Structure 1
Amino acid sequence: MSDAASPHGAHASPTRCENCDTTLQGEFCHQCGQSIHNPIRHAAHAVEEFFEAFWHLDGRLWRTLRDLASPGRTAINYLAGHRQRYIAPLRLFVVLSVLTFFIGAATMHFDDATVSTDGIDTIAAATTVAEVEKARDELVAEIEQARVEAGNTPGVDPALIAAEVRIRGVAANRIVELGGDPGANGTAAAETSKSEPWRKGLQFNMLGHHGVWDPETNPLVVSWWPDFANAWLNRKAGNIDRNMESEAFASADFWVQGMMASAPTALFLLVPVFALLLKIFYLFTRRLYLEHLVVALYSHAFLLLALTALFLLSLLGGWLATAPVWIGIVIATASAAMMVWMPVYLLLMQKRVYQQGWWLTVPKYLAIGMVYFMMLLFATIIAFLARLAGG
């Protein structure tokens, strides 16, 4: 029995590879590449290997991030054969997609602070319908003023939308409790039961379904599906219906967190589609599909890094909310500059990688961007609905 196989010879250097039994001629097997050092038996070497692997990765990570700062450089070099210096594009994309939206979910929160607790308490404590309507109208007016001051178009800011929904819902419930009629100024929920104060019910009109969904009296049925598939579909519809009944559904934070959780799934599905769009629009460049996929992965890696920076700037702005005004201006300027740089970066990357004239690059860039944005938005919404239907 060799020393390598003997527990008593744990610290002796083996003469044959423990993996493939090839005669060793150095510290690494020339056949399979395994090191002669066994990390199970050599704790100090295990620690050494950990830090060696970390610094090796760190070197590639630094070069990858550095070259990503220059539009197209990483993709051009990788396609030219300089692969060892960079983190593989798929690995980089997977890690960044998880990291970015984890940071986004941790930093982006809307706690509906626009609605003051005192205002809600005033509505709840009102003893007449007139008092409820007065308090409601005053709070809604405050939201409209906040929207004007922020320069937001009505119906765009999710925090303000959620705040208004909450106010109208609480007011409508209180009016019903007082025996009044919420009327047209109440919520959509005011026309339904108290248990559903803000919505009329789940409908699937686009799927050929008519009226309010009900699992017994008006289920969702796809005529060409088997019964078990329609039963599954209605179970999912029931999950969506229950989630929509919860108070959290009217919260902006619920939507933001849901979208953050759904975005990685949408990206995983659509990055190959983005590469296909590049293949179609640059068909005559005779590049392979996988070359376009490399371009797609590195471009998305940059976008994820930029989004991470925006999330962190938003978090920093929250931490420094009481700091001098000029700090807030610097953070806002940096965020705006990043948002402007993102589309410009992608345009420059496309121009440098494919090396076509501006008269060809710009129309292709706009067409690809428009199609892809709509597909990404649709995929994110579908992923979000899938999460709602999950339970």
Structure 2
Amino acid sequence: MAKKRRKFTQCPNCGYTFEEANNYCPNCGQENHDLNVPVKHLIAEFFEGTLHFDTKAWRTLKCLILRPGLLTEKFNIGQRASYVPPFRLYVFISLIFFFVLALSKSTVTKQQEGATTLTPFPGVNIGSTAPDSLRNIDVAAVIKDSVAARLLEDSATAKLVNKAAALNTARKENLKWAELEAQVEKFAEGGEASKQKLLKNTSFMMFLLMPFFAYLLYLFYYKKRRNYVEHLMFSIHLHTFYFLLIIAAVVTAFIFPDLDLTGVVIFIMLLYLYFALKQVYKTSYVGTFLKLIPISFTYVLTLTIFLLGTLAISILLS
């Protein structure tokens, strides 16, 4: 749908007199469009410019939700003008996704501080008893006893040194754990700031996850001889649908707090991925299922690693 313009007769920037066909000033390049209008018009133009919020957007969302994989297939074969571009669609939906997450009720469980007791070095009392009399001394026996005593003393000293070194190492490890616990406690007590930082890092993590998942598809379907871009479009559309699904689940959970939708969401995710793989890669039902198992396992493992890494980075940077 063409953009509805409120045209000037003369350029406000350079004074050039417009012709009817001029959408931009031929002299300075400024757009021939009057922005001095009520706010509702600007909001409508924002949605139109960001996502072309018209029949194209509804057609795209309908195809994405109800026909798994079809939107990717149409993009790959060149039927693109009738649908919202994948990156633009992903950015818009992801903004809504993280906005909904930020507004949703989420409780941050504060871990109780574990008492870290640093084991002090035990006291070592080395005493020696001197004889009361030096009379009637057997010189050979004294020499023999003194050598044995020296060996015993050296052995005891070595044991004490080793024990002290081990205790010192344990003390340093305890200090490191104490510092880590302090970082976790600081992050947990950060409240809204920590939450926003985690959401920001998660959004960046998901952006990195998409091309990584596309590479996994490239490996699993290497024999199909598809370009990497085709797998990337599949990954973008898949994660866009997942965002929409989680948004719906979060809103539903907000309305019905006692309703647990975790199992339903996971089932829909797997079902959608199954039909999307079959639609795009043209494999049989059994072949698609056999591919779905390792792809799903690898994806869950990768997602877990990415999430743990994101949480660790958020804590260390707090």
Aligned to 2:57: 61
Of 240, 246, 256, which residue of structure 2 is paired with 1:307?
A: 246
Aligned to 2:32: 37
- What is the percentage of aligned positions where both structures have the same residue? 22
8 Å Cα contact 1:275/1:292 also seen in 2: yes
3-state DSSP class of the match of 2:107? coil
8 Å Cα contact 2:87/2:236 also seen in 1: yes
**Cα separation, partners in 2 of 1:375 and 1:300, compared to 1, 3 Å:** same
**Cα separation, partners in 2 of 1:243 and 1:76, compared to 1, 3 Å:** same
**Cα separation, partners in 2 of 1:62 and 1:211, compared to 1, 3 Å:** farther
8 Å Cα contact 1:275/1:289 also seen in 2: yes
Question: 2: distance between equivalents of 1:48 and 1:336?
Answer: 42
Question: 2: distance between equivalents of 1:290 and 1:102?
Answer: 28
Question: 1: distance between equivalents of 2:203 and 2:187?
Answer: 26
Residue 359 of structure 1 aligns with an amino acid whose one-letter code is V
Residue 44 of structure 2 aligns with an amino acid whose one-letter code is F
4+ long deviations beyond 4 Å: 3-7, 44-50, 210-214, 217-220, 253-261
8 Å Cα contact 1:278/1:292 also seen in 2: yes
Question: 1: distance between equivalents of 2:172 and 2:94?
Answer: 36
Question: 2: distance between equivalents of 1:305 and 1:337?
Answer: 14
Question: 1: distance between equivalents of 2:11 and 2:48?
Answer: 32
- 1:87 is displaced (CA, Å) by 2.1
Of 44, 48, 52, which residue of structure 2 is paired with 1:51?
A: 44
- 1:243 is displaced (CA, Å) by 2.1
Residue 286 of structure 1 aligns with an amino acid whose one-letter code is R
8 Å Cα contact 1:266/1:376 also seen in 2: no
Question: 1: distance between equivalents of 2:53 and 2:176?
Answer: 56
Aligned to 2:272: 345
Residue 352 of structure 1 aligns with an amino acid whose one-letter code is Q
- 1:244 is displaced (CA, Å) by 2.5
8 Å Cα contact 1:243/1:249 also seen in 2: no
- 1:26 is displaced (CA, Å) by 1.8
8 Å Cα contact 1:107/1:314 also seen in 2: no
1:107 matched to 2:104? The reply is yes
Question: 2: distance between equivalents of 1:373 and 1:99?
Answer: 23
- 1:381 is displaced (CA, Å) by 1.1
Residue 117 of structure 2 aligns with an amino acid whose one-letter code is T
1:379 matched to 2:306? The reply is yes
Question: 1: distance between equivalents of 2:236 and 2:304?
Answer: 18
Of 350, 358, 362, which residue of structure 1 is paired with 2:285?
A: 358
Question: 2: distance between equivalents of 1:279 and 1:84?
Answer: 26
8 Å Cα contact 1:101/1:260 also seen in 2: yes
- 1:302 is displaced (CA, Å) by 0.4
Which stretches in structure 2 are left out of the alignment for 5+ residues? Answer: 1-8, 119-168
- 1:343 is displaced (CA, Å) by 1.1
Of 225, 228, 233, which residue of structure 2 is paired with 1:289?
A: 228
Taking the TM superposition and a 5 Å limit, the aligned residue runs for 1:181-220 are 189-190=114-115, 192=117, 211=170
1:270 matched to 2:209? The reply is yes
Cα distance per residue 1:293-338 (max 9 Å; x no partner):
00000000001111111111121123xxxxxxxxx6xx55x66544
Which stretches in structure 1 are left out of the alignment for 5+ residues? Answer: 16-24, 112-158, 170-188, 194-209, 221-236, 319-327
**Cα separation, partners in 2 of 1:45 and 1:285, compared to 1, 3 Å:** farther
Cα distance per residue 1:342-367 (max 9 Å; x no partner):
21111111111111112321122211
- 1:27 is displaced (CA, Å) by 3.7
- 1:29 is displaced (CA, Å) by 6.2
Residue 61 of structure 2 aligns with an amino acid whose one-letter code is L
8 Å Cα contact 1:37/1:45 also seen in 2: no
Q: Which has the higher contact order (CA 8 A, sep 6+)?
A: 2
**Cα separation, partners in 2 of 1:244 and 1:49, compared to 1, 3 Å:** closer
Question: 1: distance between equivalents of 2:237 and 2:296?
Answer: 16
Residue 303 of structure 1 aligns with an amino acid whose one-letter code is Y
Residue 307 of structure 1 aligns with an amino acid whose one-letter code is I
Q: Structure 2-normalised TM-score?
A: 0.65
